Each structure stands twice: as structure tokens, then as C-alpha cells.
Amino acid sequence: MIRAVALVLLLLGGCSGATPKNDAQELVIGTEGAYPPWNFTRANGSLGGFEPEYLAELCARLHRHCRMVAMDWDGMIGALQAGKIDLIADAVQITPERATVLAFGRPYAVTTGVIATLRGGTLTGLPDRGATMDIDQHGATLDAMTARLRQGLAGKVIGVELSGAFDNFLNQTFANSAGPGLTIRYYRTMGERDLDLLNGRIDATLEDESYIRPLLATPDGATLVMAGPRMIGGSMGRGEALAFRLGDKALRAEFDRVIGETLADGTVRRLGLKWFRMDASPAVTR
């Protein structure tokens, strides 16, 4: 994902301000404010979406004052390591590469990558529709599904957000494929990508299901359908979690405890249905 430079500072619970941390109990949380439905900035400057609402719930259970800060994704990990923020809540996908510099909390969502294309187009018949393609489960099944996906997307133009997990997946999957490959068209924003998709200037996009489902529910998005398999693992990660500094074990444990509570009592399920039009909660272990 590519994000714009952060200029907006917002408080959870509707208050706003760019004041520095002035309370030992205050937690400053980095987010993008431009990745709907996970997080976005409303016209009045306040933050909305799954994560602002969810973090308000978590912080209330911890009896901690939390302030969400909207910033560029490219600078978010650096801000965390420099102590400018205390944690990241930005639909951060859990990947081995990121785990070398971030300490992930307990996953609060598990989502998959899906292909969206115009209804009635040539890609609506992609094989393995609705099946799960797990990039980490190496073997004959994955090899066969990958081969069918390559064949189905051969010669097509797929739009993705620049430098995101789906960009990496497509490049890795199609880099050495035999025969005609696909063309990847890059976008700095999802809105630009969606406009080209809806107007037929690209054949499809590969995006998180949590984003595509709400899009399909809009009047414009009703012209789109999901096609092919649902993809997880590899550079796409295995779920979304809060990200902490590697040494912040106590803070991570605090959040893991209340995340467990919200998984068990249905809070995550309720918020997922509200914002994603799907239950994205991981399986709860009681």
C-alpha cells in the first residue's frame, strides 16, 4: 500500500489535536486514515472505519487514553521505532518479513485477497472460484491452482496499489511463467484504480476482500463480481494485527488480553459485519 504524507492528527472518541504525548498513560496510535473501510478521514477531519472504532473499544477496556495519528505508511514503522507513536493499527498484515522489525499482537482479523472484475467480462469464469489458495501450503494442490490462475490471467491487465502485498504476490507468481504473462498497472490510490476498473480500462484488480465486499454493495460496484480463488499467505500475510516495537512485550500483552475478550464476546464479528460486510474474526480459542 502507498499512503499520502500524514498531516492530520486525531483523537479517538471525537477529540482532535496535534499535541505531543503529555500523559504517561496516553498511547499514540499510528494509522493511515485513507484505507477504507479499515480507516478513513471524514470530511470534517475525524477518523472513521473499523480500526478507529475498534481501538476506541480496546482502549476503553484498558482504561487508557489513546490518540490516533494519521500518517504516511512509508514513515509509520520509522515513527514507531523512534518512539513518536506507541503502536500501529493500519490493517497491518502479518508476514515473516515484517516480523523481523515489528512485534505483532494477536490477530484481530483474517482476510483474503480476491480478484474483482466487471460482471459478464472474460474473467468471471476464472477457475477455483471461492476456493482458498494458501500460498504457504506448498505442494501439488498449490502448484495446480497457481498454474490455472496464470493461464486464466494470461494477457490481462491487472490494477493494484503500488508497493502493496498484492503487487508483490503478482510479481512473484508471474515473474517466471511460461507463455504470455499479465500486465500489472500500478496506482497510487485505490480510488484511481477503482475508476479504471469500473470503466473497463483494466481487466481486474487483486485486493483485500474486506475492501471489495463494501465496494460491491455500492451502486457503481454492483457492476463488479469476485472471480477465481481467495488467496492468503506469502506476501499477502496471514491476518491483520496491531504492530508494536520488538521490545514492548508488556504493552502487547495488555492489548492481546482485551483483543481476546473482543473475539470471545462477538465485538470483532459485529464490527466486521458493519464495516466489511463479512465476519473477518479469527477462530476464537477458549
What is the C-alpha R_g of the chain?
19
- Predicted confidence at residue 95, as pLDDT, reads 87
Q: What phi and psi values does residue 276 have, to the nearest 5 degrees?
A: -105, -10
Confidence bin at 180 (pLDDT 50/70/90): low
When mean pLDDT is compared over 18-22, 170-174, 255-259, the highest value belongs to: 255-259
This prediction has a pTM of: 0.81
Residue 253 has pLDDT above 70, yes or no: yes
Residue 237 has pLDDT above 60, yes or no: yes
Mean pLDDT of 194-215: 95
Q: What is the mean pLDDT of the chain?
A: 87
For 27, the grid coordinates are 498511547
Q: Where are the domains of the chain?
A: 9-110+238-275, 113-236
Confidence bin at 177 (pLDDT 50/70/90): low
Residue 50 has pLDDT above 60, yes or no: yes
Residues constituting the chain = 286
Residue 277 has pLDDT above 90, yes or no: yes
Q: Which residues contact 162 (CB under 8 A, 6 or more apart)?
A: 2, 186, 187, 188
Q: Which residues contact 44 (CB under 8 A, 6 or more apart)?
A: none
Q: What phi and psi values does residue 170 have, to the nearest 5 degrees?
A: -65, -40
Report the CATH number of the 113-236 domain: 3.40.190.10
Residue 283 has pLDDT above 90, yes or no: no
- 242 vs 18, 26, 125, CA distance in Å? 22, 17, 37
- Predicted confidence at residue 176, as pLDDT, reads 58
Confidence bin at 14 (pLDDT 50/70/90): very low
- Predicted confidence at residue 5, as pLDDT, reads 29
Q: Give pLDDT tens digits for 122-167.
A: 999 999 999 999 999 999 999 999 999 999 999 999 999 876 778 8
**Interatomic CA distance for residues 101 and 259, integer angstroms:** 22
Long-range CB contacts (within 8 A, 24+) of 41-49: 41/8, 41/10, 41/70, 45/8, 45/10, 45/16, 46/10, 46/14, 46/16, 47/10, 47/12, 49/275
Residue 263 near residue 281 (C-beta atoms within 8 A): yes
Residue 234 near residue 138 (C-beta atoms within 8 A): no
Residue 59 CA from chain centroid, whole number: 21
More confident of the two residues 176 and 122: 122
Confidence bin at 236 (pLDDT 50/70/90): confident
- Predicted confidence at residue 286, as pLDDT, reads 34
- Predicted confidence at residue 100, as pLDDT, reads 93
Residue 11 has pLDDT above 80, yes or no: no
Cα torsion 56, 60, 62, 64 to 10°: value is 80
Fold of 9-110+238-275: D-Maltodextrin-Binding Protein; domain 2 (3.40.190)
